[in-house]
């Protein structure tokens, strides 16, 4: 009887394999025949290479939001944000329904400085419509990149707003380093901000870690806010830095990709000290791998807001003409088995509206607006704490968006480049005096204050750029406006990492992290130790 059933199973398997081969042949022949018929019998002339690319793009769009086609001429440029440098406005984008969609603004880049946000749609460029069939990777590159110092004006549609908002952006050199800043918050707590998981990120991290240890660091704040991801291998190697040997950082699995475990094979550079990881809605992919592993192993405390929810692995495949397909081949899972990828069943357009929906639902302000079903419940591997899958990493401690800079006045000041223009003029006029009064950045950071006279001049500069000054809104955002002025002055006198060091003084998440790291009991209670 057993032999009989075995014969049946083998027969079914063989038939299934044969049927699959037939279906593949039929599909391939069908597509090739269609292209042949168009090329040889269509009424008008056709651009067959272009038509082929459009067919590929359409097929990939129907699969998932992250599978993508990259033309041969664009492959090198597509990797520049992780491997090289270029002059431009500093955004990662995706063309969705013939519209340029901002996926993220490069931290510290020109677009981030003026207030470009993930989810913004670029509708016009220098007054010209930037949507429709003409929009492709080549079009975007041609219009958004350019020589450092040149300007471009983008017409942005945000959310469901009907009116466009113009942003003037000055092109600049996009930063190469994936770690823009690291410093000591106090005598024992270090801070590292990682902006992307690039080829040299691990090397940069290890150098920063060693430097901070020399300065007396015992505990670490690892900032992954706004980090949209990068290389899976880099994420695994950074997970190595925090976990002991033989621990799973992530595993991947797909229907046609066997399960693959990424386990630590060495002792990391920071596997014992207290650790806090900062995440938000802009933390995606590789950021979620690292933060998910740290949470699952009860290695550190996560603070912030629910992460983006991208748990798909893209594998690059080169085509004969040098073009590349980045095809989703697997889903990644945290060590407990959580799949962090959120649903895309309603299509890519709805998928990328998720951040706007979270805002409308109040998720950025109230943790209880997020509901997780019991079916998504998991338990951490050391203390058995409850964590959830299915749509991003939920932090251990929720921190709402800081509303002190959510006024229209503050938005207009950023959007119309008042901060940058005022601070550049101020530094040009006062650089010598600043260097005389403050021998180094540390002294500047402790003692420099934005006084009433500076605010009056800042107000005049704002009004000259068409910003309507509202005293009530200024009072609400005053502390943040002054801090940003100070930070941009520091950036122009020294460099970009000083900007982050200044604003850290009024960063509510960093304040909360310091509070927890300085309390052994509170830290251990959160982790169930």
Annotated catalytic residue 296: yes
Query: Among 178, 201, 219, 285, which one carries the catalytic annotation?
Result: 285
DSSP class of residue 505 equals G
Query: Among 172, 223, 296, 396, which one carries the catalytic annotation?
Result: 296
Distance CA 66, CA 79 (A): 15
Distance CA 464, CA 458 (A): 10
Residue 150 · residue 171 · CB < 8 Å: yes
Helix (H) or strand (E) holding 297: none
Which parts of 310-393 are beta strand (E)? Answer: 312-318, 324-333, 377-379, 386-388
DSSP class of residue 339 equals B
Cα distances (Å, whole numbers) of residue 331 to 59, 79, 285, 341, 397: 20, 22, 11, 8, 26
Angle (deg, nearest 10), helices 418-437 and 408-415: 80
Cα dihedral 285, 278, 366, 483, rounded to 10, equals: -120
Query: Among 113, 193, 247, 310, which one carries the catalytic annotation?
Result: 310
Cα angle, residue 15 at apex, residues 14 and 16 outer, rounded to 5°: 90
Annotated catalytic residue 245: no
Annotated catalytic residue 498: no
- Burial state string for 487-500 with b = 16 or more CB within 10 A and e = fewer than 16: bbbbbbbeebbbbb
Question: Which residues have a catalytic role annotated?
Answer: 285, 296, 310
């Amino acid at each position: 009887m057993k032999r009989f059933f075995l014969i049946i199973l083998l027969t079914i398997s063989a038939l299934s394999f044969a049927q699959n081969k037939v279906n593949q042949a039929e599909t391939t022949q069908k597509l090739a025949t269609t292209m042949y018929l168009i090329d040889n019998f269509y009424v008008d002339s056709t651009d067959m290479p272009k038509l082929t690319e459009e067919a590929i793009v359409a097929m990939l769009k129907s699969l998932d939001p992250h599978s993508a086609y990259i033309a041969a001429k664009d492959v090198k440029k597509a990797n520049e944000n992780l491997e090289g440098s270029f002059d431009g406005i500093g955004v990662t984008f995706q063309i969705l329904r013939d519209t340029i969609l901002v996926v993220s603004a490069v931290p510290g880049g020109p677009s981030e400085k003026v207030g470009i946000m993930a989810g913004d749609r670029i509708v016009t460029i220098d007054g010209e419509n930037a949507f429709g069939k003409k929009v492709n990777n080549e079009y975007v590159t041609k219009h958004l990149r350019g020589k450092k110092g040149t300007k471009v004006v983008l017409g942005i549609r945000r959310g469901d707003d009907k009116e466009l908002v113009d942003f003037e952006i000055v092109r600049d050199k996009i930063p190469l380093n994936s770690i823009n800043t690291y410093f000591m918050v106090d005598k024992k707590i270090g801070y590292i901000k990682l902006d992307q998981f690039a080829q040299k990120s691990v090397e940069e991290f290890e150098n920063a870690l060693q430097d901070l240890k020399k300065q007396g660091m015992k505990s670490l704040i690892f900032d992954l806010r706004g980090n949209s991801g990068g290389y899976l291998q880099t994420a695994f190697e950074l997970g190595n830095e925090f976990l002991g040997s033989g621990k799973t950082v992530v595993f991947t699995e797909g229907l046609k990709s066997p399960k693959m475990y990424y386990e630590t094979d060495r002792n990391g550079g920071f596997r014992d000290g207290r650790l806090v990881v900062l995440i938000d809605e802009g933390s995606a992919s590789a950021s979620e791998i690292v933060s998910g592993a740290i949470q699952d192993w009860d290695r550190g405390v996560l603070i912030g807001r629910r992460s983006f929810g991208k748990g798909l692995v893209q594998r690059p495949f080169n085509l004969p003409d040098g073009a590349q397909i980045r095809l989703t081949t697997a889903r990644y899972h945290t060590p407990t088995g959580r799949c962090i990828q959120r649903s895309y069943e309603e299509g890519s357009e709805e998928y990328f509206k998720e951040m706007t929906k979270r805002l409308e639902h109040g998720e950025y302000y109230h943790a209880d607006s997020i509901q997780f079903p019991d079916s998504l419940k998991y338990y951490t591997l050391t203390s058995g704490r409850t964590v959830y899958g299915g749509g991003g990493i939920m932090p251990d401690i929720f921190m709402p968006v800081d509303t002190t800079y959510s006024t229209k006045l503050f938005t207009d000041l950023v959007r119309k480049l008042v901060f940058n223009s005022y601070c550049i003029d101020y530094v040009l006029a006062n650089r010598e005096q600043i260097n005389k009064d403050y021998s180094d950045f540390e002294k500047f950071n402790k003692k420099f204050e934005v006084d009433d006279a500076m605010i009056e001049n800042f107000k005049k500069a704002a009004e000259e750029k068409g910003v309507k000054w509202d005293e009530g809104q200024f009072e609400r955002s005053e502390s943040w406006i002054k801090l940003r002025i100070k930070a941009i002055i520091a950036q122009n006198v020294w460099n970009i990492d000083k900007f982050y060091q200044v604003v850290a003084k009024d960063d509510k998440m960093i304040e909360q992290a310091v509070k927890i790291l300085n309390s052994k009991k509170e830290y251990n209670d959160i982790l169930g130790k």
